[in-house]
């Protein structure tokens, strides 16, 4: 290769070197600003806040009455309800309310505190303000109605509020019986009734032979007793009265 050709190729090589250097420089700069570079601007997602751990404790309801309904934190979020007997209930730490109720008992309400990791025992005292009524009637089946509420066929036993109640006993073909028992606190009032057929009651009301009526014999007995007394007085013999002789006084 002659000197002239070398001179012509030198500028081309120089341009080629400059281009390579320029590309290398751009590549280096791009690497600096690329994501993950320690010198570039990195957009980071906001860190998720860890949920705070809610401390809880346990409530243990001690209630001797079964089937009582309880409601914890009535009107609040996270309220709890159920019936007794109940298993231990996990509640957040703090102050809580409870209401327990059952028919025939005075409602119970209380405010209590729950401590972290502790078991709070709550004694629920249910005060009875009712009694029971037991109804036995025949011949079966006899429908029993108490205060306008049908309770089925006798025998029936039901818990009622203290005081007077209206009991109706019905059976087709029989006269209705109405009783008004008094129910007392903690006691059982009992009613035993035998219904009377309508035909028998109608016969007794319409009458029959006069000698079969109870009042006939009562009146007859009174009349007989009244007639016997004057007869005895009339037939009784008269008793003679002793006469005392007249005494003559001597001078």
Task: Show the domain range for 80.
Answer: 56-123
Residue 205 lies in a domain: no
Say if residue 112 is in the same domain as residue 135.
no
Q: Is residue 216 in some structural domain? A: no
Domain count within the chain? 2
Q: Is it the case that residue 39 has pLDDT exceeding 50? A: no
The CATH number covering residue 173 comes to 2.60.40.1120
- Do 189 and 143 belong to one domain? yes
Residue 8 lies in a domain: no
For range 149-158, the mean pLDDT: 96
251 assigned to some structural domain: no
* Residues 165 and 193 grouped into a single domain: yes
- Indicate whether 152 and 181 sit together in one domain: yes
Joined together, the tokens standing for residue 17 give 């070197």
Q: Which of 95, 123, 151 is the last residue of a domain?
A: 123
Domain contains 164: yes
Q: Is 130's pLDDT higher than 60?
A: yes
For residues 69-85, give the mean pLDDT: 95
Q: What are 167-183's pLDDT values in tens digits?
A: 999 999 999 999 999 99
Provide the pLDDT for residue 48: 56
At 204 the pLDDT is: 87
CA distance 159 to 87: 27
CATH code, 68: 2.60.40.10
Residue 113 lies in a domain: yes
The half-sphere exposure of 18 on its side-chain side, counting CA atoms within 13 A, is: 6
Percent of the chain with pLDDT over 90: 53
pLDDT surpassing 80 at residue 86: yes
Domain's final residue, options 123, 152, 181: 123
Final residue belonging to a domain, choices 197, 215, 243: 197
**Out of 49-58, 90-99, 183-192, which region has the weakest mean confidence (pLDDT)?**
49-58
């Amino acid at each position: 290769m002659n000197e002239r050709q070398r001179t012509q190729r030198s500028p081309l090589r120089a341009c080629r070197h400059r281009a390579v250097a320029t590309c290398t420089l751009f590549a280096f700069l791009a690497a600096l600003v690329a994501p993950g570079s320690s010198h570039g601007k990195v957009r980071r997602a906001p860190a998720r806040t860890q949920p705070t751990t809610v401390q809880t404790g346990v409530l243990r309801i001690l209630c001797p009455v079964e089937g009582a309904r309880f409601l914890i934190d009535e009107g609040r979020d996270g309220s709890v309800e159920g019936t007794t007997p109940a298993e231990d209930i996990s509640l957040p730490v703090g102050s809580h309310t409870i209401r327990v109720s059952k028919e025939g008992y005075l409602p119970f309400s209380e405010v209590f505190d729950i401590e972290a990791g502790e078991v709070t025992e709550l004694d629920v005292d249910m005060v009875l303000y009712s009694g029971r009524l037991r109804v036995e009637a025949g011949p079966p089946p006899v429908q029993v109605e108490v205060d306008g509420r049908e309770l089925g066929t006798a025998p029936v036993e039901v818990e009622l509020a203290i005081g007077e109640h209206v009991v109706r006993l019905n059976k087709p073909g029989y006269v209705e019986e109405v009783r008004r028992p008094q129910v007392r606190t903690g006691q059982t009032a009992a009613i035993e009734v035998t219904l009377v057929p309508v035909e028998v009651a109608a016969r007794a009301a319409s009458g029959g032979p006069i000698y079969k009526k109870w009042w006939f014999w009562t009146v007859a007995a009174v009349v007989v007793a009244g007639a016997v007394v004057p007869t005895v007085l009339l037939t009784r013999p008269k008793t003679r009265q002793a006469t005392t002789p007249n005494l003559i006084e001597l001078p």
